[in-house]
Amino acid sequence: MFWHLQVLNLYRNPVLMRQWVMKQKKCAVVNRELCVACGSCQKVCPMGAIRVYKGLYAITDGARCIGCGRCAKECPASVISLEAPREN
């Protein structure tokens, strides 16, 4: 019963809703120091949210990333983790 009231409150309050969405969402984060810039992550991302920057390391676009985890599964160096985005 309490759980249903919490959901109802989320829908009524846009601030709470945004906080809840931010808490649920995960984004890909690359450990740049260990990335070997192979580009495998870039090839499998359905959102175009990760790319190799100047042949050096992969970078992600938090606004595009949907947290599907495909890049992390594909990464041969296992340097991608899915983390909650940081609020600035």
- For binding to ligand SF4 (CB under 6 A), which residues are involved? 28, 30, 35-41, 45, 47, 49-50, 52, 58, 60, 65-71, 74-75, 77, 79-80
Rounded to the nearest 10 degrees, how much is the dihedral formed by the CA atoms of 40, 30, 70, 76?
Answer: 50
Return d(Cα 54, Cα 56) in angstroms, integer.
Answer: 5
CB of 67 to ligand SF4, least distance (A): 5
Q: Which is nearer to ligand SF4, 10 or 74 (CB)?
A: 74
Q: Which is nearer to ligand SF4, 10 or 37 (CB)?
A: 37
